């Protein structure tokens, strides 16, 4: 569920920022132009964290 919320929240943030008039500001404009790349980077960050935590979690449940 967390993976699916990332693009939704980024899209919501961009839409609301444009709606309140901040669409021409540099960070919002950059985020709007690179939305997919930002989502993929956040997903990659999640996967790296999962790959680090998963072995420890498995060892916790099934000790040797």
pTM given for the model? 0.79
Query: To the nearest 5 percent, what fractions of the chain are helix, strand and coil?
Result: 85, 0, 15
User: Per-residue pLDDT tens for 10-61?
Assistant: 999 999 999 999 999 999 999 999 999 999 999 999 999 999 999 988 888 8
Domain ranges of the chain: 2-57
Residue 64 has pLDDT above 80, yes or no: no
Per-residue CA distances from 2 to 16, 27, 42, 47, 64 (Å)? 21, 24, 11, 11, 31
How much is the pLDDT for 41? 95
Residue whose tokens read 């919002």: 28
């Amino acid at each position: 569920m967390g993976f699916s919320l990332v693009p939704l929240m980024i899209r919501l943030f961009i839409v609301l920022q444009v709606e309140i008039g901040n669409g021409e500001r540099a960070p919002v404009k950059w985020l709007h132009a690179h939305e997919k790349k930002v989502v993929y980077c956040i997903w990659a960050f999640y996967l790296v964290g999962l790959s680090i935590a998963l072995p420890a979690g498995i060892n916790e449940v099934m000790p040797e």
